[in-house]
Amino acid sequence: METENLHYFEKAPIYKAIAHFAVPMMLGMSMSVIYSILNAYFLGTLQNTEMLTALALTLPLFAAIMALGNLIGMGAGTFISRLLGEKSYDEVKHVSSFGFYASLALGIVLMIVGLPFIDQIVHGLGATASSFAFTKDYVTIMLIGSPFVVLFFALENIVRAEGSAITSMIGMILSVIVNIILDALVIFVLHGGVMGVATATVISNVVASIFFAIYIGRKSEFLSLSWKWFKASKEILSNVLKIGVPVFIMSIFLGAMSLIFNHYLIEYGDHAVAGFGISSRLLQFPEFILMGLCEGVVPLIAFSFTANKLRMKKTISFTIMIVATLATVFGIIVYLTSDHLIGFFTNDPQLIEIGSYILHVTFLSLYISGTTTLFTGIFQATGQGKAAFVMAIVQGVTLVPVLYIANRMNGFHGVVWSLVIADAVAFLVGAVMLYALRNKLQPDLEQLVQ
């Protein structure tokens, strides 16, 4: 295992190395999107717009729980990959053990703090009288299961960081398959509705977390979950948090963005919220493909940053080319089939029209958001905590003034277009910072000579 993983880190041709790290991540995230789409489809068969609205309103909560997992997982994961490049194998065990126990503890804290404030959280998510009960059901179950959801996202990142991309993919796909099976069971057999869907999500994360824990405990050459390796030293905390905190802030901002966006959309009726919920799930497929590509290469970039910067530079250039190609292909497909895609979830003509319009507009920013994700991944992989923090703030804060102004100027259409404008601003900021940091990221002279 050690030889195979290090081969892809150090010696495999760039395109093979990228494929090894990115393709499993892309496939795993694609399965997650397929689950998300089927999730909405299963609820859609009940012909209840309020249930679909509740599902859309709870996206910020799931983003917040995922943010806690990424706080530890991305922070520990990028540090682990850099340590592997330095061949500091004992320190890798300390960091992975820290990641396991810290993520579990954060999930428990979230559950304890959140449960007493269920009603306030549901109101804060923007639930109306008609969707309040369904939204509360989902929130309750997700908070109860949050320790395992946080743990799942943390372990997935940690396993991928050591080069075990295929194992990471298997865990993600396992979660999705279990989720889909349970969704069909709770909706069509047990008639569990929204609460059943939430329960299925939690159980699937429990199963996947157990799978990752077993892999690390029995098969991993580099990682450990043993308490004897647990260490919360200043160095570990610093390296985990300088990347993890910006990732957390970004995830929270993205959740808040969805929350604020829903609050604006609710002014235009449940059809607008449901239409955005459906179109955003469809947009997730190409977005997650590109995200899987960009996040998949992060361990390779992080390892190469400490071991071979010329290889890192070639990896980044090749990845940008792939992003541009995929964004173009997905854009053409969506523009040709948008009405049919929305019609998969509902037969409501108004909902199809609104959802198709939102889909057309938001797809314009696909290449921009994909490249921005890569910029952020580069900052994370190379330990540029300040740059990663700036990206987190820009991606979160920019939407608020843009959304306010666009809504005042052009109503519903302005709200939808605000997403594209905010993405463009984040892209420009990321490009400027990457240019400013170019000296730190340049290959050493001896590497260029070779």
Q: Which sequence spans correspond to the domains of the chain?
A: 2-442
What does 247-270 look like in DSSP terms, one character per residue? Answer: HHHHHHHHHHHHHHHHHHHGGG-H
Please report where in the chains the tokens 């792939």 appear, as a residue: 322
Please state, for a pLDDT cut of 70, what percent of the chain lies above it: 88
Amino acid of residue 284: Q
User: Which pLDDT does position 255 carry in this prediction?
Assistant: 63
Q: Between the CA of residue 29 and those of 34, 174, 284, 286, what are the distances in Å?
A: 9, 12, 9, 10
**The tokens of 221 are what?**
């050459």
CB 296 within 8 A of CB 22: yes
Q: Report the distance separating Cα 281 and Cα 32, nearest Å.
A: 10
Look up residue 117 and give its DSSP letter. Answer: G
Please report where in the chains the tokens 């992975």 appear, as a residue: 96
Sign of CA dihedral 211, 217, 220, 224: positive
CB 256 within 8 A of CB 396: yes
Length, in residues, of the chain: 450
Find all residues with CB under 8 Å of 237, minimum gap 6, and list them: none
Q: Report the distance separating Cα 403 and Cα 260, nearest Å.
A: 9
Q: What mean pLDDT is reported for the chain?
A: 81
Look up residue 221 and give its DSSP letter. Answer: S
Cβ atoms within 10 Å, residue 188: 12
User: Which pLDDT does position 446 carry in this prediction?
Assistant: 45
Q: Between the CA of residue 148 and those of 76, 105, 107, 185, what are the distances in Å?
A: 18, 10, 7, 21
Q: Which residues of the chain, if any, have pLDDT below 50? A: 1-2, 445-450
The angle subtended at Cα 116 by Cα 115 and Cα 118, nearest 5°, is 65
What does 337-377 look like in DSSP terms, one character per residue? Answer: HHHHHHHTT---HHHHHHHHHHHHHHGGGHHHHHHHHHHHH
Closest CA to 352 of 271, 266, 265, 268: 271
Closest CA to 82 of 251, 282, 312: 312
User: Which pLDDT does position 450 carry in this prediction?
Assistant: 45
Q: Report the distance separating Cα 219 and Cα 322, nearest Å.
A: 32
Q: Indicate the burial class of 214 (C-beta count within 10 angstroms; 0-12, 13-18, 19 or more).
A: exposed
Supply the pTM of this predicted model. 0.73
Cβ atoms within 10 Å, residue 418: 26
Q: Report the distance separating Cα 427 and Cα 13, nearest Å.
A: 29
Amino acid of residue 285: F
CB 293 within 8 A of CB 432: no
**The tokens of 338 are what?**
């948008």
